Amino acid sequence: MPGDAAAVSRRLLGRIREAMAQPGLPEDRLQVIVRIIAEEMQAAVCSCYVMRAGEVLELFATQGLRPTAVHMTRLRVGEGLVGFIAAHPRPLALSDAWSHPNFAYRPETGEEPYRSFLGVPIVRIARVAGVLVVQTTESRAFAPEEVEALETVAMVLAELLTTGNLIDRREQIPVDGTALVPLRINGLKLSAGLGVGAAYLHRKVPFITHLVSEDPEQEAKRFEEALGRMHIALDEMLAAEEIGKSEYRDILEAYRMFAADRGWIERIRDHIRGGLSAEAAVQRAQEENRVRMQQVTDPYLRERLYDLEDLTDRLMLHLMGQDSAERKILPPHAILVARTLGPADLLDYDMSRIHGVVLEEGSPSMHVAIIARALNIPMVARVPAILGKIGAGDPVIVDGDNGSVFIRPSEDLTASFISTVRMRREKQKAFAVLRDLPAVSRDGVRIELLMNAGLLADMPILDQVNADGIGLYRTELPFMAHAETPDVEVQTALYRAVIDQSGGRPVCFRTLDVGGDKMLPYWQSTGEENPAMGWRSIRITLDHPAIMRHQLRALIRACEGRPLSVMFPMVAEVAEFDAAKRILDLEMDRAARRGEPLPERLSVGCMLEVPSLVFQLPQMLKRVDFLSVGSNDLAQFLFARDRGNQRIAERYDLLSPPFLSLLDRIIAACDAAGVPCSLCGEMAASPLDSMALVGLGFRRLSVTGPAVGPVKAMIRSMNVGDTERVVKKLLQSPAHSLRSSLANYALDHAVQIA
Ligand code: PEP
Ligand code: MG
């Protein structure tokens, strides 16, 4: 084979690019491609074997072997030279194939005359999808350049096989040798429910379609520029690191490893010289890293694989231009699998198609979990190394009730889950029977049952579950889904639609609550050491009053004379509330001066989620029309327990003497001042927790849509007077948690908590 490696693979790829551009079936194209490879490599034979169900490699196309052997010749993984390559998976070059101990003669192929053999695995997303082979009649020592050229072609074929649907992804085997056996892995339950579907691997980077380059010099230039941009961006991140931001430490280490690893960059340059587009060259280097890393057993090094992926994704985004990450299209019945997800990441998808989410990391009060619960999407987190065990398209069951994930489950298991899903629907129907019945306890206490919302898509649920209104409308979700801050007009239209769709029920709008784990895609991270306690929520909007003014202006306009209820989040002291209220007054004056219709009634409240405010309750209660306890943040600050930190997510229980005592104090102060107080954090959505809240004296609860039915069922089965006595007594207990005592009480008194 003449010429240097780059020239060889460039010419080969050039011809393959032309072949791929021709109309026709993927299988016909594959046949043309093997012919081109045989010609260019001056080999008598070129064959492509594709991985089929049951770990069998099937001959799909050949130039040189008998055409009748196509789809007839099959080798198990580990069997013959082809199976040997799939099992290991690395190239194998033999000048005398017949003398190799793994050689398996297949008479139907007519391969007697061929002595030398070169085979390479076809790998895609760390899975063996097939094997590509050339054979020669003469005894030939294949040069490293030839091996390299065949590997480059194999990468292009991997894309063709997958996008041309020639292979079912379920039929590929992981390169780390773990067979495609069914797996059950336990994790942390974040959102209840059962989801049955096919794995969709969340990636920041869209799939590449442009694989083969027309102009290697131009591709090299694009790559160098993207690399430069990535270095600058990483240097900026490094600067933030120096001020102590630890969450980037791993990425930084990986970056240093890469920066030292000139080989990685050189390999990409080589692949570009060999005729791949810059994106395909980066992807090929990524596949090589994946194969290398997955063969490493050291858990620390394996973990690094994900950091390398992250960096490659970054490089790829720089290469494609940030905006090429368009809204992702999901197959129906998708189970989203990711290392971790920000709420904005989830909103990028068509959520009606997401039937479950599986994360390697995560904790119950992270925002993406709140969204999942609101939308009734089962979610299991902290599933170790799931991305290394699952392939795109693998059948998956997410059991959000028990925190289990089943990968490639048997048909029996799938059938039994599907029947449970059906039974659940029946149960939901039973809750639906309660729809028109009031949330009144056995001893006649009426509880106001409100719903949390944050998307227009939530609004129809309000009527379906017949909640008394929206107790918390999280306005930040649309901010996170937009490419830039929505202007007054866009916001007005949105809030008007919310009010219109509320059918006259009250809606409590919470002003913008971003920062912490809710970063806006268009705002640079400020590199804070502790974002949950940093510049977030009302601290941002008071520092940027224009944002607050625009939002309040939009809310006033959206009312068109109807009542308006607004509350401010993360208020730590009365002075912050006063400052926010002044901005609201300014906007009310502005609307009045301009002759715009004013809300018929204005209720202004604030969230109680920072413990300092408890010590200013008397002053605060003189100023507000209502209070709403944000138990997610309040618990985070009370217990000094980061709500996003998975290691301590279950360390403290909200059903515990300290937390319930704090709530007891709050509700008593509100009752004495005659100020209505609700609780809108996640705990209200659990029937057992809400039983305790009612026992403490809460008469207003705001819960996710799907929780309205179960909480109402609990209320209708409880006796408030009785529960009050029990809960107040338990506050004195020295126990870590009151959960089991309360559950036993519920059980003994037939309170419906499940
Ligand atoms: C809370 O903190 O309890 C709350 C309701 O607000 P969020 O979860 O949006 O921070
Ligand atoms: Mg909060």
Sequence ranges of the domains in the chain: 5-172, 183-204+328-420, 216-319, 438-444+631-679+681-754, 469-606+616-625
CA angle 348, 254, 249 (to 5 degrees): 80
Confidence band for 575, pLDDT divided at 50, 70 and 90: very high
209 vs 594, higher pLDDT: 594
> Which atom from ligand 1 is nearest to the alpha carbon of 680?
5
CATH architecture of 438-444+631-679+681-754: Alpha-Beta Barrel (3.20)
Q: Name the range with the highest mean pLDDT among 88-102, 242-256, 591-605.
A: 591-605
Q: Is the pLDDT of residue 210 over 60?
A: yes
Report CA(570)–ligand 2 centroid distance (Å).
7
> Which atom from ligand 1 is nearest to the alpha carbon of 681?
3
Helix, strand or coil, per DSSP, at residue 50: strand
Tell me the β-bridge partners of 508.
565
Lowest mean pLDDT among 153-162, 174-183, 490-499: 174-183
Residue tagged 């925002």 (tokens): 367
- 221-224 long-range Cβ contacts below 8 angstroms, 24+ apart: 222/278, 222/319, 223/268, 223/269, 223/272, 223/278, 223/281, 223/282, 223/319
The bound ligand whose nearest atom lies closest to the alpha carbon of 680 is 1
Question: DSSP character for 683?
Answer: G
N-term to C-term CA, the chain: 71
Helix, strand or coil, per DSSP, at residue 523: coil
pTM value is 0.62
Does residue 279 have its Cβ closer than 6 Å to ligand 1? Answer: no
CATH of domain 5-172: 3.30.450.40
Lowest mean pLDDT among 99-113, 324-338, 347-361, 435-449: 324-338
> Environment class of residue 598 by beta-carbon count within 10 Å: exposed (0-12), middle (13-18) or buried (19+)?
middle
pLDDT in the model for residue 258:
58
Residues in the chain: 754
Which tokens is 698 given? 């809460």
> Which atom from ligand 1 is nearest to the alpha carbon of 474?
9
pLDDT in the model for residue 414:
85
Does residue 370 have its Cβ closer than 6 Å to ligand 1? Answer: yes
* Mean pLDDT computed over 204-230: 82
Confidence band for 240, pLDDT divided at 50, 70 and 90: low
Closest CA to 595 of 564, 548, 556: 556
C-alpha to C-alpha distance for 317 and 323, rounded to whole angstroms: 8
Report CA(552)–ligand 2 centroid distance (Å).
19
Helix, strand or coil, per DSSP, at residue 604: strand
The bound ligand whose nearest atom lies closest to the alpha carbon of 471 is 1
591-to-363, 466, 578 alpha-carbon distances in Å = 43, 33, 20
Among protein residues, the one with the nearest Cα to ligand 1's atom 6 is 630
Report CA(460)–ligand 1 centroid distance (Å).
22
361-to-223, 350, 368 alpha-carbon distances in Å = 32, 22, 12
pLDDT in the model for residue 664:
98
pLDDT per position as a tens digit, 61-80: 999 999 999 989 999 999 99
Which tokens is 358 given? 């599986």
Question: DSSP character for 132?
Answer: E
CATH of domain 216-319: 1.10.274.10
Residue 447 near residue 440, CB atoms below 8 Å: yes
pLDDT in the model for residue 325:
43
C-alpha to C-alpha distance for 199 and 391, rounded to whole angstroms: 7
Helix, strand or coil, per DSSP, at residue 745: helix
> Which atom from ligand 1 is nearest to the alpha carbon of 365?
8
pLDDT in the model for residue 323:
44
Confidence band for 252, pLDDT divided at 50, 70 and 90: low
Residue 476 near residue 513, CB atoms below 8 Å: yes
pLDDT per position as a tens digit, 369-394: 877 887 789 999 988 878 777 877 88
* Mean pLDDT computed over 732-741: 96
Which tokens is 355 given? 């039937």
20 vs 627, higher pLDDT: 627
Average pLDDT, the chain: 85
284-to-45, 125, 205, 272, 291 alpha-carbon distances in Å = 25, 10, 15, 10, 11
Confidence band for 498, pLDDT divided at 50, 70 and 90: very high
Percent of the chain with pLDDT over 70: 85
Angle between helices 574-593 and 545-559 (to 10 degrees): 50
C-alpha to C-alpha distance for 11 and 84, rounded to whole angstroms: 29
Q: Is the pLDDT of residue 244 over 70?
A: no
pLDDT in the model for residue 376:
84
Confidence band for 310, pLDDT divided at 50, 70 and 90: low
Q: Is the pLDDT of residue 168 over 60?
A: no
Report CA(359)–ligand 2 centroid distance (Å).
22
C-alpha to C-alpha distance for 584 and 566, rounded to whole angstroms: 9
> Which atom from ligand 1 is nearest to the alpha carbon of 370?
8
Report CA(516)–ligand 1 centroid distance (Å).
11
* Mean pLDDT computed over 328-350: 78
pLDDT in the model for residue 75:
92
b/e sequence 49-60, b meaning 16+ C-beta within 10 Å:
bbbbeebbbbbb
C-alpha to C-alpha distance for 59 and 499, rounded to whole angstroms: 62
Helix, strand or coil, per DSSP, at residue 489: helix
What fold does the segment set 183-204+328-420 form as a domain? Glucose Oxidase; domain 1 (3.50.30)
Does residue 630 have its Cβ closer than 6 Å to ligand 1? Answer: yes
Which tokens is 436 given? 């028109």
Residue 110 near residue 65, CB atoms below 8 Å: yes
Q: What is the distance of C-alpha 613 from the center of its chain?
A: 34
C-alpha to C-alpha distance for 483 and 679, rounded to whole angstroms: 32
Amino acid at 513: D
Among protein residues, the one with the nearest Cα to ligand 1's atom 10 is 633
Residue tagged 């927790």 (tokens): 689
Among protein residues, the one with the nearest Cα to ligand 1's atom 3 is 630
Confidence band for 131, pLDDT divided at 50, 70 and 90: very high
| 469-606+616-625 homologous superfamily | Phosphoenolpyruvate-binding domains (3.20.20.60)
The bound ligand whose nearest atom lies closest to the alpha carbon of 517 is 1
pLDDT in the model for residue 170:
37
Q: Decide if 5-172 and 469-606+616-625 have a common fold.
A: no
Report CA(600)–ligand 1 centroid distance (Å).
28
